[in-house]
Amino acid sequence: MTNLWLKISSSQKVLWVGIGCQRHTPRLVIETAIKQVFQEHQLAEDAIIGIATIEGKADEGGLVELCSDRHWILQTFSPQQLQGVKVPNPSMVVQQKITTPSVAEAAALEAAGVSTLLVPKCIYRGENLTPEGAKISQAVTIAIATITLIESRGKIGNRTC
């Protein structure tokens, strides 16, 4: 995948971030995952329209809080809606758990109304502490789609996540 340097002002909201995550993933883990992917791909967080995910995450505290604070839309889709979206990296594990082979990629594509991702799924793994002090690993899957064609200032290389 070719990365593009995006020249986007804060008034140009053109990016949908598809997110898949485990239940009760804290805002900090989700926010860190987004920051990391956006930095790696030289994307402007100011260009985010919103977060797209599966409907079961509509009340996910970390997602709701992040979207509220950042004034992002939280768009959710049913598993049936996501099943029909062709994605580059389907997952049999996700398919078995929630009856759709993709959440992050399919939700980003569906929200943006396009068929090609700007950034295919990247999996961020973070650690958090339980109230008892035990470490737990948490994963956040991120995919990004754009609603419009964006002017490229040139190729900056290839990167896979």
DSSP string, 59-89: T-HHHHHHHHHHT-EEEEE-HHHHHTS--SS
Average pLDDT on 96-100 reads 91
The pair of three-digit structure tokens given for residue 139, joined into one six-digit string: 């994963």
CA dist 70 and 27 (Å) reads 12
Please tell me the distance from the alpha carbon of residue 133 to that of residue 117, in angstroms, as a whole number. 38
| The two three-digit tokens of residue 22, written as one number | 């485990």
The ranges assigned to domains in the chain are 11-149
Burial bucket for residue 80 (CB in 10 Å: 0-12, 13-18, 19+): exposed
* d(C-alpha 106, C-alpha 70), whole Å: 23
Does the pTM exceed 0.85?
no
* Tens-digit pLDDT profile for residues 51-77: 999 999 999 999 999 999 999 999 999
The closest alpha carbon to 119, from 141, 144, 90, belongs to 144
Q: Which fold has domain 11-149?
A: Nucleotidyltransferase; domain 5 (3.30.420)
Give the C-alpha separation, 62 to 23, whole Å: 10
* pLDDT score at 81: 96
SS3 label, residue 62: helix
**Quick one: pLDDT at residue 27?**
92
Q: Are 51 and 19 in contact (CB under 8 A)?
A: yes
Q: What is the pLDDT of residues 139-152, one digit of tens each?
A: 999 999 999 654 44
Q: Is the separation of the CB atoms in 92 and 100 below 8 Å? A: no
**Angle formed by the axes of helices 27-40 and 61-70, to 10°?**
60
